[in-house]
Structure 1
Amino acid sequence: MIVSMRSLAEALATGTVILDGGLSTELEARGHDVSSALWSARLLRDDPGAIVAAHAAFAAAGAQVATTASYQATVEGFGAAGVDATEARRLIASSVALAREGQGDGWVAGSVGPYGAMLADGSEYTGAYVDALSVARLRAFHRPRMELLAEAGADVLACETVPAAAEAEALIAEADALGIPVWLSLTTVLDGDGVARTRRGELAADVFAMAASVDAVIAVGVNCTAPAAIGAAVAAASVAGRPVVVYPNSGESWDAVGRRWTGTPGIATDDVPPWVDGGARLVGGCCRVRPSDIERVAMMIRRPDHKGSWLTVGGEPGPRMIRRPDHHAGQRMGLPPVTAMRAPEM
C-alpha cells in the first residue's frame, strides 16, 4: 500500500538523521555464525527472525534508518551456496520486509555492497578487481540486486563500502538509469598529506563530485573507515553539494587473513559534532558499532548545545511517499512468522 511519508532526501535537507550500526557484526555478537561467504545474508534463509531482532535493537537505540541484510547477498553468491536463482531473488527481496518489520516507522535502505563482497576475499578493501572489469560489467552485476531491492519497497539504496572510482561510476550510472534514489558511500584511507582517497588511491573528492552530478544520488560520504579518517572524508564530501553520510567502523581493524578484529572498539562521541558541523546529515556506524553506540551517537546529536538538529515529528520521521509492505509481508514471501523484539538492556 502507499503511505504518505517524507522522503529521506527531504529529511536530510532539514536535519540530521540517525543511521543504524553494523548489522552483520551485531548478529555475530548475538551468537550467530556469519563466517560464511554469504555473511549475514545466510540468515535471510536460515534465521530471518534474528535479522528482525537486530534491526529492532538499533531502532530502539534511536536509529531512524535500517540497512538491509543484503550487503553480501547476490544471486551469484547464493548460487555458490547451493541456492537456486529463483530462491536467491526471493531472499534478497525479503531483506526489505525484514528491515521494515524490525525498524517500524523509519526508513529502509537497501544495502548494495561492492563486487568484492561477493568474492569474499577481502578485495572490497582494495578494489583490485576493477582492473579486470569494465564499468558495463560492474553495472550488469549490480543491476539485478538493485532492481529487487527497489521493487521490494526500499526507500533508498545504500551503495556502500565502494573502494574504487570505476565501481562508483557503475553504481550511480545504474541508479540513474533505473530512477532509484541512492547514497554513495566510499571506503577511504588518508594519504601522506591527510587527504581522503579511495582504497584504489583516487581522490575521494573527485568521486564525490562525479556522484553529485547525478540526480539519483541523494547523499555522498564514507563508511567502513576508521574514525580517525572520517574528518577528511567529510571535508571532501561536503564540497560536492549533497548531504554527507558518515558511518565509520568502531575503531578496530579487520585482519582479513586472520579473520579477526584487533584494537579498541567504540566511536568517540566527541567526534560526532565536528562531523555534523562539517556537513554530515546521515550519521551512524558500520562494523562493530552496536546499538549502545548508536544510542550514544543519537544522544550527542540531540544535545541542545549542538548545532545540528535532530529530525523528529512526533517522535517519528516526517511525511514521505513509500511503497510499504505490511508487517505480514515476510510470511507472504514464504518466510516463517517473525516478531519485532525490544532491544535488550545495554
Structure 2
Amino acid sequence: MNPIAEILSKQKVLIIDGAFGTELERKGYDINDSLWSAKFLMEKPEAIGEVHKDYLEAGSDCVTTASYQATYEGFMKRGMSEAEAKALIQSSVKIAQNVRDDFWKDSKNHTKRQKPLVAASVGPYGAYLADGSEFTGNYGLSVEELMRFHRKRLATLIEAKPDLLACETIPCLMEVRALCALLKEYPEVSSWVSFSAKDGTHINSGESVRECAQFLEAQKQIVAIGINCTAPQYIESLISEIKAVSSKPIIVYPNGGSTYNALTKTWDGISKSTSYGKMAYGWFQKGAKIIGGCCQTTPEDIAQIAKWVRA
C-alpha cells in the first residue's frame, strides 16, 4: 500500500505542512536568495528543523523537505563540489526524518495520529532559475532536457529514502511528463504531483488542469494529484476539474492569496482574510483528501485544519 493510502484508510484527511520559506522569514531569517530556503541547508540547518517541528506540533501528518530549490547546479554555483552538493540535498531528507522520529518517540504525540510521513520536495526547473518562471512554465526546453536536469537530483533524494516524493509547483504538463518518465526508473517510489494554477481551470502554462489530471490518472506511481501555491479562491473549481477525470486522492495546499513578484522576490497584496481552517473544510467537502498550505501559511493555519480533522 502506498504511504498516503495507508493514512487515508485510517482518517478522513491527511494534513500536510504549510509554508517553508515564508515561515523562515516570519521567524526573522533572510530568504532573499536564489537558493531561497535551501540556503539554510548550508548556513543554518537547525532553522529547518525548527520549522518541521512547529508543523508536526501543529498537527501535520507529513512534512515536506527543504529541497524545493536545492539543486546540484545551484549549490555548485556557490562553489560547492558535486559531493558537497549531494550531501546538502540529502541532508534535507535527513533533517526532516530526524525531527519526525524525535517527535514520534513521545507517545503523547500518537493520540489520533498516524506516524507522520517525510515527502522529499522536488521543485520545478523554474525554481532553480529563480526568475519566477515556475509561475509560467515558459522554459523553452524539451522533455529530454528537463529529464536531464531532474535526473541526478531525483536519484539523490530517492537514495536518502524519504517516504515519498512531492513534485510541486509544477507549471506545465511537459515537466510532469519528464518527471513521470524518470520515476519509472524507480518503480518502488511513490510521488504526488501538484501544479501551480493561474485560474479555476488552467495551470500556469495555460494548459487545462483536466488534461494534466487525465495524464496523471494513468501513472501508477503518482499517488495524489493536486494544486499548490495558487490563490485560495481558485481551489474549489480546480478540485472539481480534477475530480471530473481522476479517481486519485486530491491534494491542495494553496498560498495565502498574495501574488509573488519575481523581480523583488516578495509577495504583493493582502493575505487571506477568511479563517484558513474554514476554507480548508470547504475544500474537503468539495473532495480534497490531502490538505495543507503553501507560501505565507503558518503552523497556526495547519492547527486550524487539525482541529476539525481530529475532532
* Normalised TM-score (structure 1): 0.81
- Aligned residues of 1:185 and 1:220 also touching (Cα < 8 A): yes
Question: Given the alignment of the two structures, is residue 153 of structure 1 paired with residue 179 of structure 2, yes or no?
Answer: no
* Residue in 1 that maps onto 2:280: 272
Following TM superposition, by how much is the alpha carbon of 1:46 offset from its aligned partner in structure 2, in angstroms? Answer: 1.0
Q: Find the aligned partners of 2:209 and 2:304 in 1 and give their Cα distance.
A: 28
1:98-113 mapped onto 2 (5 Å cutoff): 98-104=95-101, 105=104, 106-113=116-123
Q: Find the aligned partners of 2:276 and 2:49 in 1 and give their Cα distance.
A: 27
* Pairing partner for 1:127 from 112, 128, 137: 137
* Residue in 1 that maps onto 2:261: 255
* Residue in 2 that maps onto 1:238: 243
- Aligned residues of 2:38 and 2:67 also touching (Cα < 8 A): yes
* Residue in 2 that maps onto 1:187: 196
* Pairing partner for 2:230 from 208, 225, 248: 225
Question: Given the alignment of the two structures, is residue 93 of structure 1 paired with residue 124 of structure 2, yes or no?
Answer: no
1:21-40 mapped onto 2 (5 Å cutoff): 21-40=18-37
Q: Which amino acid aligns with 1:298?
A: A
Q: Find the aligned partners of 1:63 and 1:6 in 2 and give their Cα distance.
A: 18
Measured against aligned partners, the alpha-carbon deviations of 1:156-201 in whole angstroms (never above 9, x if no partner) come to 10000000110111112211232221001000122xxxx4111111
Measured against aligned partners, the alpha-carbon deviations of 1:57-102 in whole angstroms (never above 9, x if no partner) come to 0110001101000000000011111111110011101111101122
Q: Which amino acid aligns with 1:205?
A: R
* Paired positions, count: 293
Q: Which amino acid aligns with 2:169?
A: T
- Aligned residues of 1:64 and 1:103 also touching (Cα < 8 A): no
Question: Given the alignment of the two structures, is residue 20 of structure 1 paired with residue 17 of structure 2, yes or no?
Answer: yes
What SS is found at the alignment partner of 1:245? strand
- Aligned residues of 2:49 and 2:95 also touching (Cα < 8 A): yes
Question: Given the alignment of the two structures, is residue 83 of structure 1 paired with residue 89 of structure 2, yes or no?
Answer: no
Question: Given the alignment of the two structures, is residue 64 of structure 1 paired with residue 61 of structure 2, yes or no?
Answer: yes
- Aligned residues of 2:2 and 2:223 also touching (Cα < 8 A): no
Q: Find the aligned partners of 1:209 and 1:18 in 2 and give their Cα distance.
A: 24
- Aligned residues of 2:281 and 2:305 also touching (Cα < 8 A): no
Following TM superposition, by how much is the alpha carbon of 1:269 offset from its aligned partner in structure 2, in angstroms? Answer: 2.5
Question: Given the alignment of the two structures, is residue 290 of structure 1 paired with residue 298 of structure 2, yes or no?
Answer: yes
Q: Find the aligned partners of 1:54 and 1:8 in 2 and give their Cα distance.
A: 22
Q: For structure 1, list consecutive stretches of 5 or more residues without a partner in the other structure.
A: 304-346
Following TM superposition, by how much is the alpha carbon of 1:6 offset from its aligned partner in structure 2, in angstroms? Answer: 7.7
What SS is found at the alignment partner of 1:197? coil
* Pairing partner for 2:211 from 206, 213, 219: 206
* Residue in 1 that maps onto 2:109: none
What SS is found at the alignment partner of 2:184? helix
Identity %: 40
Q: Find the aligned partners of 2:51 and 2:133 in 1 and give their Cα distance.
A: 27
* Normalised TM-score (structure 2): 0.90
Q: For structure 2, list consecutive stretches of 5 or more residues without a partner in the other structure.
A: 105-115
- Aligned residues of 1:100 and 1:108 also touching (Cα < 8 A): yes
Question: Given the alignment of the two structures, is residue 49 of structure 1 paired with residue 54 of structure 2, yes or no?
Answer: no
Higher relative contact order (CA 8 A, sep 6+): 1
Q: Which amino acid aligns with 1:186?
A: F
* Residue in 1 that maps onto 2:110: none
Following TM superposition, by how much is the alpha carbon of 1:287 offset from its aligned partner in structure 2, in angstroms? Answer: 0.3
- Aligned residues of 1:238 and 1:278 also touching (Cα < 8 A): no
Following TM superposition, by how much is the alpha carbon of 1:9 offset from its aligned partner in structure 2, in angstroms? Answer: 2.8
Following TM superposition, by how much is the alpha carbon of 1:294 offset from its aligned partner in structure 2, in angstroms? Answer: 0.8
Q: Which amino acid aligns with 1:139?
A: M
Structure having the higher helix fraction is: 2
* Pairing partner for 1:9 from 5, 15, 37: 5
* Residue in 1 that maps onto 2:107: none
Q: Find the aligned partners of 2:122 and 2:2 in 1 and give their Cα distance.
A: 23
Q: Find the aligned partners of 1:218 and 1:70 in 2 and give their Cα distance.
A: 20
What SS is found at the alignment partner of 1:178? coil
